[in-house]
Structure formats: structure tokens, C-alpha cells
């Protein structure tokens, strides 16, 4: 009798439980280049899908060679590579060309999805 009750409870729980869904997380980032100009943009990453992207207000660039751990998010983009430290919000990017010169530092904080982002990335 007890086994049947446990079996029914497990079957009921399995029937109503939904699979875990991936949730994109958005970051509002700010970086100051070597010339002192502040650049604002948004970064999205998804732990489960192992994806990262950068939203500049008009388009979303998908990253490659994405590595997401409990401590950091690293990704490569056509013009730069980025590293985000999840512990303290520190952000660094290394431009691949000589556009801005050297390693750029900034910070990122959690934020809601920015306006204009495609619905599938919210």
C-alpha cells in the first residue's frame, strides 16, 4: 500500500513538473576607451545554452568561443574579446584592431532587456 502511494505521488509530480528553461541574463555595461570616451552597450548571456551576445542598440552580435563558468563569462566577437567577472561586475575587453588601443576596463550590472531587443532573446 505504501509503495503504491509513493508511486502515485512520483507519477503525479512527474506529470506536473516542467523542464528547466534557459533564461537569458542581461547586463548593462560601460567601458571608457583610451581617449576618455564612454561607451555604453548591453551584453546577454545564457548559462544553459552557453551563448553570449552584445547589443549596441540596433543589432545583436553573437559571440564565439563562449566559456561560461560560475565565476566568469568569456567570449570572442569579430572586433574584440570580452571577459566579465561575475563576482564583482568587472568587465574588460581587448579590441582586436588598433581602434581603441590596448585593454579597456569597465563594469557591468544586471539589467532588464533593453528596448528593441528581439523577442526570442528577452
pLDDT tens-digit map of 80-98: 899 999 999 999 988 876 5
**Helix, strand or coil for residue 100?**
coil
- 33: domain CATH number is 2.40.128
Instruction: Please count the structural domains in the chain.
Output: 1
In a 10 Å sphere around its CB, with 0-12 CB exposed, 13-18 middle and 19+ buried, how is residue 61 labelled?
A: middle
Q: Mean pLDDT across the stretch 111-121?
A: 86
Kindly tell me if the per-residue pLDDT of 100 is higher than 60.
Answer: no
The verdict on residue 106 lying in a domain is yes
The per-residue pLDDT for 62 is 92
The per-residue pLDDT for 14 is 60
Of all helices (H) and strands (E), which one includes residue 107?
Answer: strand 104-111
The per-residue pLDDT for 16 is 57
Range of the domain at 64: 24-114
pLDDT in tens, 38-88: 989 999 999 888 999 999 888 999 999 999 998 999 999 988 899 999 999
The verdict on residue 122 lying in a domain is no
| DSSP label of 52 | E
The verdict on residue 16 lying in a domain is no
Q: What is the mean pLDDT of the chain?
A: 83
The verdict on residue 48 lying in a domain is yes
pTM of the shown model:
0.74
The verdict on residue 1 lying in a domain is no
Rounded-to-integer distance, Cα 110 and Cα 25, Å? 7
The verdict on residue 13 lying in a domain is no
Amino acid at each position: 500500500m505504501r509503495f503504491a502511494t509513493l508511486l502515485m505521488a512520483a507519477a503525479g509530480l512527474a506529470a506536473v513538473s516542467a523542464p528547466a528553461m534557459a533564461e537569458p541574463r542581461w547586463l548593462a555595461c560601460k567601458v571608457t576607451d583610451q581617449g576618455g570616451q564612454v561607451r555604453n552597450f548591453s551584453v546577454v548571456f545564457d548559462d544553459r545554452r552557453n551563448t553570449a551576445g552584445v547589443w549596441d542598440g540596433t543589432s545583436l552580435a553573437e559571440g564565439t568561443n563562449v566559456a561560461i563558468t560560475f565565476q566568469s563569462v568569456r567570449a570572442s566577437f569579430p572586433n574584440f574579446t570580452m571577459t566579465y567577472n561575475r563576482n564583482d561586475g568587472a568587465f574588460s575587453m581587448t579590441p582586436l584592431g588598433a581602434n581603441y588601443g590596448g585593454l579597456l576596463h569597465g563594469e557591468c550590472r544586471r539589467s532588464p532587456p533593453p528596448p528593441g531587443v528581439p523577442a526570442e532573446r528577452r
